[in-house]
Amino acid sequence: MKVTRTVCRIYAAICAATLVLLIIGTLGWLGIPGRPGVLLADVLGMPWSLLVAQVSDAGAVGKVVMGAAAMALNLAIIFSVGRWLTRRA
Protein backbone atom coordinates (compact mmCIF):
# COMPACT_ATOMS: atom_id res chain seq x y z
CA MET A 1 0.00 0.00 0.00
CA LYS A 2 2.98 2.31 0.52
CA VAL A 3 3.92 1.99 -3.13
CA THR A 4 0.37 2.80 -4.21
CA ARG A 5 0.24 5.90 -2.03
CA THR A 6 3.64 7.04 -3.28
CA VAL A 7 2.64 6.59 -6.92
CA CYS A 8 -0.64 8.43 -6.28
CA ARG A 9 1.16 11.32 -4.58
CA ILE A 10 3.66 11.64 -7.43
CA TYR A 11 0.88 11.49 -10.04
CA ALA A 12 -1.19 14.06 -8.15
CA ALA A 13 1.78 16.42 -7.83
CA ILE A 14 2.55 16.17 -11.54
CA CYS A 15 -1.13 16.75 -12.38
CA ALA A 16 -1.32 19.78 -10.10
CA ALA A 17 1.82 21.30 -11.61
CA THR A 18 0.48 20.65 -15.10
CA LEU A 19 -2.84 22.30 -14.28
CA VAL A 20 -1.09 25.34 -12.85
CA LEU A 21 1.06 25.59 -15.98
CA LEU A 22 -2.04 25.15 -18.14
CA ILE A 23 -3.92 27.90 -16.30
CA ILE A 24 -0.96 30.28 -16.43
CA GLY A 25 -0.56 29.60 -20.15
CA THR A 26 -4.26 30.07 -20.80
CA LEU A 27 -4.26 33.43 -19.02
CA GLY A 28 -1.16 34.48 -20.96
CA TRP A 29 0.98 35.30 -17.93
CA LEU A 30 4.16 33.69 -19.27
CA GLY A 31 4.11 35.36 -22.64
CA ILE A 32 4.88 32.03 -24.32
CA PRO A 33 3.10 31.56 -27.64
CA GLY A 34 0.59 28.74 -27.55
CA ARG A 35 -0.51 27.12 -24.33
CA PRO A 36 2.23 25.30 -22.46
CA GLY A 37 1.11 22.23 -20.61
CA VAL A 38 -1.66 21.25 -23.03
CA LEU A 39 0.16 18.20 -24.37
CA LEU A 40 1.18 17.01 -20.90
CA ALA A 41 -2.37 17.54 -19.62
CA ASP A 42 -3.71 15.50 -22.54
CA VAL A 43 -1.27 12.68 -21.82
CA LEU A 44 -2.02 12.63 -18.09
CA GLY A 45 -5.75 12.58 -18.75
CA MET A 46 -5.72 9.85 -21.39
CA PRO A 47 -8.06 8.24 -22.50
CA TRP A 48 -10.63 10.62 -21.01
CA SER A 49 -8.97 13.66 -22.57
CA LEU A 50 -10.05 12.33 -25.97
CA LEU A 51 -13.64 12.80 -24.83
CA VAL A 52 -12.85 16.31 -23.60
CA ALA A 53 -11.52 17.20 -27.06
CA GLN A 54 -14.85 16.15 -28.62
CA VAL A 55 -16.90 18.67 -26.62
CA SER A 56 -17.97 21.32 -29.10
CA ASP A 57 -17.84 24.58 -27.14
CA ALA A 58 -16.56 24.11 -23.61
CA GLY A 59 -14.41 27.24 -23.54
CA ALA A 60 -11.02 27.55 -21.86
CA VAL A 61 -12.30 27.15 -18.31
CA GLY A 62 -14.48 24.19 -19.22
CA LYS A 63 -11.62 22.37 -20.88
CA VAL A 64 -9.38 22.94 -17.84
CA VAL A 65 -12.10 21.66 -15.50
CA MET A 66 -12.81 18.61 -17.64
CA GLY A 67 -9.08 17.93 -17.97
CA ALA A 68 -8.75 18.07 -14.20
CA ALA A 69 -11.67 15.67 -13.89
CA ALA A 70 -9.98 13.28 -16.33
CA MET A 71 -6.79 13.37 -14.27
CA ALA A 72 -8.77 12.80 -11.06
CA LEU A 73 -10.50 9.81 -12.62
CA ASN A 74 -7.13 8.34 -13.58
CA LEU A 75 -5.88 8.94 -10.04
CA ALA A 76 -8.89 7.06 -8.65
CA ILE A 77 -8.24 4.18 -11.04
CA ILE A 78 -4.56 4.01 -10.07
CA PHE A 79 -5.47 3.98 -6.38
CA SER A 80 -8.17 1.33 -6.85
CA VAL A 81 -5.90 -0.98 -8.84
CA GLY A 82 -3.09 -0.56 -6.32
CA ARG A 83 -5.44 -1.33 -3.43
CA TRP A 84 -6.80 -4.37 -5.29
CA LEU A 85 -3.27 -5.64 -5.91
CA THR A 86 -2.37 -5.16 -2.24
CA ARG A 87 -5.41 -7.13 -1.07
CA ARG A 88 -4.68 -9.87 -3.57
CA ALA A 89 -1.06 -10.33 -2.52
Q: Predicted confidence band at 33 (pLDDT cuts at 50, 70, 90)?
A: low
Cβ atoms < 10 Å from Cβ of 71: 23
pLDDT for 12 equals 96
Q: What spatial distance separates the first Cα and last Cα of the chain, rounded to whole Å?
A: 11
Give SS3 for 61. Answer: helix
Domain that holds residue 56: 2-88
Count of domains forming the chain? 1
- Per DSSP, helices labelled H in 28-58 are 38-44, 48-54
- What whole-number distance in Å separates Cα of residue 25 and Cα of residue 20? 8
pTM for this one?
0.85
